[in-house]
């Protein structure tokens, strides 16, 4: 079992530690609901050092990235980041990742903790014909995510650069007390916020500084529990739940991150084939009509036919109602209503558009 | 430190039992509510349902997880704390009081002797905590 550089900090803050993807991580400190709402309303700080970091550099680094991912890497400007998928030749999703472009010859990829080694080996082997070096730099990095509408105000008091001009999905390398940081305006919560990559042993120092500057804003340390409820409200997929190697981007509703026209890439033909033939299942959102909280693995039924299964579910802290994502067989008439089998009892649920949580338009413009 | 009351009996699944005349009142312990975190949902049986010792009679859920509730004794459910359905957080706030879950008329009240007393449960909880 691995521990992040912040393990002792989490213990001191009263974090409940659980095992996640081989890491001992805090699932909550004061309570998932409070932490969740702190992110929606002000700011929350997450240790996400378990995430993996893979670096690619060399003359053909851009071509390699273009070959192993589905989105159009060529459209990224320097210091811009993009959400994309790694697919296998069958079109199945190996992982969802964020690619950070430093230059045409230098990229950085942030991957899911559980997939770090798999992704590294996949990119290295699948890209072996390109003149580029692939490095697994995960052990060298800590990663801290500051999320919520007050994130910029908090960080402006810490870094010399003004974060005003850093747009969403852009990043900036900077020096902080002699350490090399990458500050990216990205996140997994649906709120404004930043993800900061920094040398492993500097995490405690920055964490304490952010907590200190964030205190007047009511910042809370947040665990994996709130991270999960926040991403479910936004219907962001999580590997092992909504996506895995047997699910393709059309089924998962992620086809907008696949650019068929960009040229060849791994999985392209299979994905085109699925687009033409259609898919057997599609990801959908659900809200309970009757009581109960849907959880991963619960069956989705209609008139005793099994239509699929729940992939993620929770009581939404923002909406105060049970919500879920899950796969539904295509071509079945359901009139927007299904049943979810909760511990042996069928409960009515309705199919709803995702994301579940939407900021009001007025608030949205603040970004 | 978690609260453990002297006058109650306890199960290994962290339910407590209080004898009230010929009925037993059942809830979950302070240790259990603390381990679960904020309870956001509860499922309970209905009046007249039968519960069987060692079998689930309901479930409590936190935002993150589900835990079954196990019957400490066999019998018929005669009263259900329906206030918990709308305010499950009461279980966190007052697990031995307002957070009670069901009252059961036991078939054999002697079954209560199989449960742990407060000293035994204290020792049991200490061992559980060490595992973490």
According to DSSP, the residues that pair with A3 across neighbouring strands are A24
A343 touches chain B (CB under 8 A): yes
Sheet containing strand B15-20, edge to edge, reads B9-10, B15-20, B23-28, B102-106, B75-80, B50-51
A310: its two tokens? 């729940």
Query: What is the pLDDT, as a whole number, of residue A226?
Result: 98
What pLDDT is recorded for position B130?
Answer: 75
Compute the average pLDDT of residues A181-188.
97
Residue B68: CB atoms within 10 A of its CB come to 13
Best mutation target among A29, A36, A225 (most B Cβ atoms within 10 Å) is A225
Per-residue pLDDT tens for A218-228?
999 999 999 99
pLDDT higher than threshold 90 for residue A310:
yes
Predicted TM-score of the model (pTM): 0.93
Is 80 exceeded by the pLDDT of residue A285? yes
A248 and chain B in contact, CB less than 8 A: no
CA distance B41 to chain A (A): 8
> How would residue A160 be classed by pLDDT, with cut points 50, 70 and 90?
confident
Average pLDDT of chain B, as a whole number: 94
From chain B, the residues in CB contact with A229 under 8 A are 63
Handedness of CA A337, A340, A341, A345 (dihedral sign): negative
Q: Is B40 on the interface with A (CB under 8 A)?
A: yes
pLDDT at A366 over 50: no
Q: Say if the Cβ atoms of A32 and B64 lie within 8 Å.
A: yes
pLDDT band at A363 (very low <50, low <70, confident <90, very high): low
Is the CB of A32 less than 8 angstroms away from the CB of B43? no
* Residue whose pair of structure tokens reads 């007025």 in the numeric block: A362
Q: Which two tokens stand for residue B129?
A: 């905590």
- Token output for A274: 């699925």
Mind listing the pLDDT tens digit for each residue in B36-92? Answer: 999 999 999 999 999 999 999 999 999 888 999 999 999 999 999 999 999 999 999
Mutation target vs A (from B64, B69, B84, B89; most A CBs, 10 A cutoff): B64
- On the question of pLDDT at A355 being above 90, the answer is yes
Average pLDDT score over residue span A333-358: 94
State the pLDDT confidence band at B132, using cuts at 50, 70 and 90. Answer: low
pLDDT, tens digit, for every residue of A20-77? 999 999 999 999 999 999 999 999 999 999 999 999 999 999 999 999 999 999 999 9
Contact criterion met (CB below 8 Å) for A181 and A192: no
- Interchain CB contacts (distance < 8 Å): A and B: 41
**Of B57, B102, B95, nearest in space to B78 by CA:** B102
Asked if pLDDT for residue A337 goes beyond 70, the answer is yes
In tens, the pLDDT along A312-326 reads 999 999 999 999 999
Q: Does A296 touch chain B (CB under 8 A)?
A: no
- Residue A240 confidence class, pLDDT cut points 50, 70, 90: very high
Cα(B5)–Cα(A85) distance, integer angstroms:
54
CB contact under 8 A, A343 and B41: no
Is residue A365's pLDDT more than 90?
no
Please give the ipTM for the structure prediction. Answer: 0.84
Contacts of A253 (CB under 8 A, 6+ apart): A282, A283, A354
Task: Identify the three-state secondary structure at position B54.
Answer: coil
Range B17-23 average pLDDT:
95
Residues in chain B: 132
pLDDT score of A360: 58
Residue with tokens 């739940």, as numbered in its chain: A241
Q: Do B64 and A343 touch (CB under 8 A)?
A: no
Residues above pLDDT 90, as percent of chain A? 93
């Amino acid at each position: 079992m691995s521990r992040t550089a912040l393990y002792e900090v989490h213990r001191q803050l009263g974090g409940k530690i659980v095992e996640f993807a081989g890491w001992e991580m805090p699932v909550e400190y004061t309570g998932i609901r409070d932490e969740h709402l702190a992110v929606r309303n002000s700011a929350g700080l997450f240790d996400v050092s378990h995430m993996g970091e893979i670096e690619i550099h060399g003359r053909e680094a851009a071509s390699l990235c273009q070959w192993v991912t589905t989105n159009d890497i060529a459209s990224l400007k320097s210091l811009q980041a993009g959400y994309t998928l790694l697919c296998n030749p069958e079109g199945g999703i190996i992982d969802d990742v964020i690619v950070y472009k430093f230059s045409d010859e230098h990229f950085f990829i942030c991957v899911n903790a559980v997939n770090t080694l798999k992704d590294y080996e996949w990119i290295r082997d699948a890209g072996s014909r390109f003149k580029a070096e692939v490095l697994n730099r995960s052990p060298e990095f800590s990663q801290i995510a500051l999320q919520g509408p007050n994130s910029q105000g908090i960080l402006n008091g810490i870094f010399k650069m003004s974060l005003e001009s850093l747009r969403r999905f852009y990043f900036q390398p900077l020096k902080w007390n002699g350490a090399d940081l990458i500050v990216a305006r990205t996140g997994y919560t649906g709120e404004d916020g930043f993800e900061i990559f920094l040398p492993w042993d500097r995490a405690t120092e920055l964490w304490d500084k952010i907590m200190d500057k964030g205190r007047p804003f009511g910042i809370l340390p947040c665990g994996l529990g709130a991270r999960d409820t926040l991403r479910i409200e936004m219907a962001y997929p999580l590997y092992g739940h909504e996506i895995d190697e047997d699910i393709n981007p059309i089924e998962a509703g992620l086809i907008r991150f696949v650019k068929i026209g960009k040229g060849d890439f791994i999985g392209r033909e299979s994905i085109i084939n699925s687009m033409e033939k259609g898919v057997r299942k599609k990801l959908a959102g659900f809200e309970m009509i009757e009581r109960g909280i849907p959880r991963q693995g619960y069956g989705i039924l209609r008139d005793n036919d099994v239509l699929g299964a729940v992939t993620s579910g929770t009581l939404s802290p923002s909406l105060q109602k049970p919500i879920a994502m899950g796969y539904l067989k295509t071509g079945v008439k359901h009139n927007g209503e299904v049943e979810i089998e909760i511990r042996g009892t069928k409960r009515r649920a309705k199919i709803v558009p995702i994301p579940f949580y939407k900021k009001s338009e007025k608030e949205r413009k603040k970004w | 430190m978690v609260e453990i009351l002297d006058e109650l009996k306890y199960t290994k699944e962290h339910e407590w039992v209080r004898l009230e005349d010929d009925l037993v009142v059942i809830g979950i312990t302070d240790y259990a509510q603390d381990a679960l975190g904020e309870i956001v949902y509860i499922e309970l049986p209905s009046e007249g349902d039968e519960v069987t010792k060692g079998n689930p009679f309901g479930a409590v859920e936190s935002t993150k997880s589900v835990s079954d509730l196990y019957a400490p004794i066999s019998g018929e459910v005669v009263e259900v704390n329906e206030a918990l359905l709308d305010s499950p957080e009461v279980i966190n706030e007052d697990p031995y009081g307002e957070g009670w879950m069901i009252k059961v008329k036991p078939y054999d009240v002697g079954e209560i002797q199989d449960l742990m007393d407060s000293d035994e449960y204290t020792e049991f909880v200490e061992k559980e905590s060490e595992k973490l």
